């Protein structure tokens, strides 16, 4: 079967869990004999070939094996000339556009979805422009199924479906209600709704996300399936040799520093922990619009000597950070799934999870908290750090859960969906 897949990130261009999920899904789906053309939005200057070459080669170091070679033979990675990036806001898009044009002038940020031969004048216009590129690619490629990941790709996928009549699967890794709560962007919501309505089938990464799709978008229940994300052991082949006994315990927050991820609750809980256990180091790894305010809050609470902001981490630095941590905390306000707790467990780091996270569905024995209950978060951090027996029990249950959380299972479920649509 031939799959035309639209995404917005793919290794080595990863800003979050979506890139990892897209890579692992394409890797395992291709094992079923599928040929995948994966389209990613990427800004490139026509005079330079390096960007295209980098994406075409995928650019990630992988172990040499026949399965890896077969995977890349089945994956035809296409690049579209676009400055779309994961998690863009309207303001961030405007900054990227000014940087690209180099004229330093403020761009029109109206909501009119116009297109031109150049980059769109605002985020929505660029999404619409990218959709034209998607349609152009669709009429040139041979494929049986269209598979689109998250809202920025939906217009491109819809146009590809209308141009070719091929069935469409949309894969929901997050919805606007996760990212923005009640202050949703109406334009993004409408694109999400249109994508799900036009789709022949909708994949949600958790039952938590499926419930949002049904309640907020009015999609028919029989049209929406849950396929959980997973984690692969090969993602942790290089464990760093960190001394098992360290003077200070380290508690990690790793993710985008935005309201959705709850970094403010992490800091407030840290202050309560340090009142009772002053030899703990807290690390916040990532970037986002709330980072300046979080740095200010740490200063206000006089936690500077116990708090470290790393900025955005990737590759070996992420692995090293997990390996150096004694506990991972994910206090997300709304988390469709959440791969990072599974990655932490690979490195034998116990986790505390928000009850508002889809990953709880595959980790039923994890410690959970309400994101807003900073006293409970603090108490559970203290319990894990003070009682080794509790930490060992969490790790034992986590290892047991990881044995059944595999990308191969996700690929098998997606293949069944493909088979039904392609008849």
Q: For residue range 345-394, list pLDDT tens digits in order.
A: 888 899 999 999 988 898 888 899 999 999 999 999 999 999 999 999 99
Q: Which residues of 122-152 are buried (b: 16+ CB within 10 A; e: fewer)?
A: bbbbbbbbbbebbbebbeeeebbbbbbbbbb
With cut-offs at 50, 70 and 90, classify the pLDDT of residue 75: very low
**Distance separating alpha carbons of residues 208 and 71, to the nearest angstrom:** 31
SS3 308: strand
With cut-offs at 50, 70 and 90, classify the pLDDT of residue 246: low
* Helix residue ranges per DSSP H, 358-406: 374-386, 388-402
Predicted local distance difference test score (pLDDT) of residue 318: 85
Q: Where exactly does CATH 3.40.50.2000 map onto the chain? A: 2-230+406-422, 233-402
Q: Return the axis-axis angle of helices 388-402 and 374-386, rounded to nearest 10°.
A: 100
The pTM assigned to this predicted structure is 0.71
Using alpha carbons, select from 298, 406, 405, 396 the residue that is nearest to residue 362.
405
Predicted local distance difference test score (pLDDT) of residue 57: 22
* Backbone dihedral angles phi then psi of residue 373, each to the nearest 5 degrees: -90, 80
CB atoms closer than 10 angstroms to residue 73: 10
The yes or no reply on domain 233-402 and CATH 3.40.50.300 is no
With cut-offs at 50, 70 and 90, classify the pLDDT of residue 125: low
With cut-offs at 50, 70 and 90, classify the pLDDT of residue 336: confident
DSSP states along 240-267: ----SS-SSEEEEEES--SGGG-HHHHH
Average pLDDT, the chain: 79
Residue 119 has pLDDT above 80, yes or no: no
HSE-CB at 80 with a 13 A cutoff on CA atoms is 32
pLDDT average, residue stretch 24-42: 85
The answer to whether the CB of 145 falls within 8 A of the CB of 422 is: yes
The answer to whether the CB of 252 falls within 8 A of the CB of 327 is: yes
Q: Which residues of 362-399 are buried (b: 16+ CB within 10 A; e: fewer)?
A: bbeebbbbebebbebbbbbbbebbeeeeebeebeebbe
**Distance separating alpha carbons of residues 365 and 100, to the nearest angstrom:** 48
Predicted local distance difference test score (pLDDT) of residue 46: 33
- Out of 139-143, 175-179, 262-266, the most confident range is 262-266
Query: Could you tell me which residue, 324 or 80, shows the higher pLDDT?
Result: 324
Query: Could you tell me which residue, 312 or 239, shows the higher pLDDT?
Result: 312
DSSP states along 14-69: -SSHHHHHHHHHHHHHGGGT-EEEEEEEE---TT--HHHHHHHT--------HHHH
pLDDT average, residue stretch 98-113: 42
| DSSP 8-state class, residue 335 | B
Going edge to edge, which strands form the sheet with 224-226?
Answer: 75-81, 35-42, 2-6, 145-149, 168-172, 201-204, 224-226
Residue 418 has pLDDT above 90, yes or no: yes
CA-atom Rg of the chain in angstroms? 22
Q: What percent of the chain has pLDDT over 90?
A: 43
Using alpha carbons, select from 179, 218, 178, 211 the residue that is nearest to residue 197.
218
Predicted local distance difference test score (pLDDT) of residue 96: 58
pLDDT average, residue stretch 156-164: 91
Assign domain 2-230+406-422 to a CATH class: alpha beta
The answer to whether the CB of 191 falls within 8 A of the CB of 154 is: yes
The answer to whether the CB of 281 falls within 8 A of the CB of 305 is: no
Residue 53 has pLDDT above 50, yes or no: no
Predicted local distance difference test score (pLDDT) of residue 257: 93
Predicted local distance difference test score (pLDDT) of residue 107: 40
Predicted local distance difference test score (pLDDT) of residue 233: 55
* Backbone dihedral angles phi then psi of residue 232, each to the nearest 5 degrees: -115, 140
Q: What percent of the chain has pLDDT over 70?
A: 74
User: Who contacts 97 (Cβ-Cβ below 8 Å, separation ≥6)?
Assistant: 83, 107, 119, 121, 126
**Distance separating alpha carbons of residues 170 and 5, to the nearest angstrom:** 10
With cut-offs at 50, 70 and 90, classify the pLDDT of residue 63: very low
Say which range, 40-49, 90-99, 304-313, 319-328, has the weakest mean pLDDT.
40-49
Residue 15 has pLDDT above 80, yes or no: no
pLDDT average, residue stretch 338-342: 86
The predicted-structure confidence for 393-406, as pLDDT tens digits, reads as follows: 999 998 888 888 88
């Amino acid at each position: 079967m031939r799959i035309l897949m639209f995404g917005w990130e793919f290794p080595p261009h990863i800003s979050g869990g979506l890139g990892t999920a897209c890579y692992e899904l394409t890797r395992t789906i291709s094992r079923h004999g599928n040929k995948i053309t994966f389209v990613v939005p990427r800004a490139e200057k026509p005079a330079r070939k390096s960007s295209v070459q980098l994406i075409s080669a995928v650019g990630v170091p992988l172990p040499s094996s026949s399965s890896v070679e077969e995977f890349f033979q089945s994956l035809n990675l296409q690049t579209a000339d676009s400055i779309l990036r994961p998690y863009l806001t309207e303001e961030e898009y405007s900054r990227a556009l000014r940087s690209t044009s180099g004229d330093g002038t403020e761009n029109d940020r109206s909501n009119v979805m116009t297109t031109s031969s150049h980059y769109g004048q605002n985020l929505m216009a660029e999404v619409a422009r990218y959709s034209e590129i998607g349609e152009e690619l669709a009429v040139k490629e041979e494929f049986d199924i269209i598979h689109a990941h998250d809202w920025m790709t939906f217009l491109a996928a819809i146009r590809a479906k209308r141009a070719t009549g091929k069935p469409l699967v949309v894969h929901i890794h997050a919805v606007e209600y996760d990212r923005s709560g009640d202050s949703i962007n109406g334009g993004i919501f409408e694109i999400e709704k249109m994508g799900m309505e036009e789709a022949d089938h909708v994949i949600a990464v958790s039952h938590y996300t499926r419930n949002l799709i049904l309640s907020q978008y009015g999609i028919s229940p029989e049209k929406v399936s849950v396929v959980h994300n997973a984690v692969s052991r090969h993602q942790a082949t290089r464990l760093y040799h960190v001394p098992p006994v360290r003077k200070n315990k380290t508690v990690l927050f790793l993710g985008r520093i935005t309201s959705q991820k709850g970094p403010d609750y992490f800091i407030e809980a840290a202050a309560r922990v340090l009142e009772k256990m002053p030899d703990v180091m807290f690390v916040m790894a990532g970037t986002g619009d709330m980072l300046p305010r979080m740095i200010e809050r740490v200063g206000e609470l006089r936690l500077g000597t116990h708090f470290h902001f790393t900025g955005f981490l990737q590759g070996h630095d992420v692995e090293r950070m997990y390996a150096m941590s004694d506990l991972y905390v994910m206090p997300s306000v709304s988390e469709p799934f959440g791969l990072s707790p599974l990655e932490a467990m690979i490195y034998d780091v116990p986790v505390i999870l928000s009850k508002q996270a889809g990953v709880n569905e595959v980790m039923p024995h994890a410690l959970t908290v309400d994101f807003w209950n900073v006293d409970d978060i603090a108490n559970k951090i203290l319990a894990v750090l003070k009682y080794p027996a509790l930490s060992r029990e969490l790790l034992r249950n986590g290892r047991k859960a990881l044995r059944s959380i595999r990308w191969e299972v996700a690929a098998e479920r997606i293949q069944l969906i493909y088979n039904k649509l392609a008849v």
